[in-house]
Structure 1
Amino acid sequence: MTLFNHFLALLVMALVCSSPALAAGKKETTISLRVTATAYNSLPGQTDNTPDLAAWGDRLRPGMKAIAVSRDLLYKYGLKRKAKVRISGLDGEFLVLDKMHQRWEKKIDIYMGMDRHKARRFGRKNVTIKW
């Protein structure tokens, strides 16, 4: 094996092993889904007596880009805790840090810190999420 071929083989192995899905022989895919989006705040009237504590124990702080998701997105569609999600119409990525009551389906709740007015202005929208 020439030095170039040896280098090329090492490079391919490094690229494959850097991706858990590729290393396991799986193709990485992006999932896209249309959902209803609303907004919520860290206020006792909207949650419980620990409004900054999410369902998995993560602490929410104003300024975080976090979302709560309906449980069907977790169990039926494979979304995971701490997954990075892009939301159509919004900049950046949001982390899945909270889950909603089981009565909701195909729904996300976008965390908006303590700003109740911002959450109300957001209202209810149909958006596409990708992860």
Structure 2
Amino acid sequence: MLAAIIMLFAAVLPAALATPALPSSALASQAVRSALAPTVVGAKASNTAAAARAQGVNRAATSALPRSTGRSVVVHSTAYNSTPGQTDSSPYITATGTRVRSGVVALSRDLLGRFPYGTRITIEDLSGRYSNLLRGRVFVVEDTMHPRIGNTVDVWMGSLGEAMAWGARTVRITALQ
């Protein structure tokens, strides 16, 4: 019986571990060249990648962040990352069942009444240590903190170093429409 199981694994394992077939380098090079090739529009040539980038910049400049709903509160802010010492036994899963990622925040349970799960918020640093992480960013409330912690927002970071660099600061969170 054991020999049959070993033979089965020996037959199935190489196929399961095989990497997917990738396109040839010539095909990939051709795709890049065609994507970056200039196209003729009227009498002038324009680079499609540059044109797409310019359209994206124009769209971003004309569309402002969503308006605030008026729900705003000054809170203590900390940062966390996905280590069992800073989370529960499932460090990569939020309280709402989603995976942690950049832009996810955890709120203390006393703030969940004002900012329920799924609320999109902005964070304004009031501590005097401005962070580029906050500029123009919208965060989503998808996690919660231990019941003993109050009046706090915890911002998810990808590494322990980023979380330590964030430290503790005072911020204003504002809900968006």
Scaled by the length of structure 1, the TM-score of the pair is 0.70
* Partner SS for 2:165: helix
Structure 2 unmatched ranges of 5 or more = 1-67, 126-133
Residue 68 (structure 1) aligns with: 106
CA distance in 1, matches of 2:123, 2:174: 7
Structure with larger Rg: 2
List aligned pairs for 1:79-118, cutoff 5 A: 79-89=115-125, 90-91=134-135, 92-113=137-158, 115-118=159-162
Q: Which has the higher contact order (CA 8 A, sep 6+)?
A: 1
Q: Report sequence identity in percent.
A: 39
Cα deviation code 1:69-122 (max 9, x no counterpart): 0011112xx211111010003121100010111111110100002x10110011
CA distance in 2, matches of 1:88, 1:39: 15
CA distance in 2, matches of 1:67, 1:42: 12
Cα deviation code 1:23-80 (max 9, x no counterpart): xxxxx8321110000000011221133100111211113xx201000011112xx211
CA distance in 2, matches of 1:35, 1:43: 24
* Partner SS for 2:112: helix
Structure 1 unmatched ranges of 5 or more = 1-27
List aligned pairs for 1:1-131, cutoff 5 A: 29-61=69-101, 64-75=102-113, 78-89=114-125, 90-91=134-135, 92-113=137-158, 115-131=159-175
Structure number with the higher helix fraction is 2
The letter for the 1-side match of 2:168 is R
CA distance in 2, matches of 1:73, 1:49: 23
Give the direction of change, closer, same or farther, for the CA distance of 1:29–1:48 in structure 2 (3 Å limit).
closer
CA distance in 1, matches of 2:151, 2:173: 10
Scaled by the length of structure 2, the TM-score of the pair is 0.53
What do you get for the CA RMSD once the two structures are aligned?
1.4
